């Protein structure tokens, strides 16, 4: 694995594409102050950006996308 590969969890630098580092659902939950259940069953349904990878359907989030989504939703007063 290449050090700048965004899938390499050991990489300390953000992905060069502006998405930021990849995060697991547990890391996103901790970042936002929600449970992993709430991220999966509430925030994703409200539009939280994510990717499903491979046959396992593992969820991957990118820090900068998550941050932008939260800020946009705060400015709009949240989703209904």
Domains of the chain: 22-75 (1.10.10)
The residue that leads in pLDDT, 34 or 77, is 34
**In terms of DSSP H, where are the helices of 1-80?**
25-32, 36-38, 63-75
* pLDDT of residue 73 exceeding 50: yes
pLDDT digits (tens, 9 = 90+) for 44-60: 999 999 999 988 889 99
* CA separation, residue 64 to residues 1, 27, 50, 61, 72 (Å): 22, 13, 11, 9, 12
CA–CA gap between residue 45 and residue 40 (Å, rounded): 8
Token pair 């990489």 is found at: 11
Tell me, what's the pLDDT at 60?
A: 96
CA–CA gap between residue 25 and residue 40 (Å, rounded): 8
Of 5-9, 45-49, 50-54, 61-65, the poorest mean pLDDT is in 5-9
CA–CA gap between residue 24 and residue 76 (Å, rounded): 26
Tell me, what's the pLDDT at 24?
A: 97
């Amino acid at each position: 694995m290449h050090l700048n590969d965004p899938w390499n969890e050991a990489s300390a630098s953000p992905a060069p594409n502006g998405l930021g580092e990849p995060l697991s659902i547990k890391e996103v939950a901790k970042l936002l102050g929600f449970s992993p259940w709430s991220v999966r069953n509430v925030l994703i349904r409200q539009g939280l950006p994510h990717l499903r990878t491979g046959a396992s359907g593992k969820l991957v989030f990118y820090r900068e996308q998550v941050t932008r989504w939260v800020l946009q939703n705060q400015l709009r007063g949240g989703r209904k």
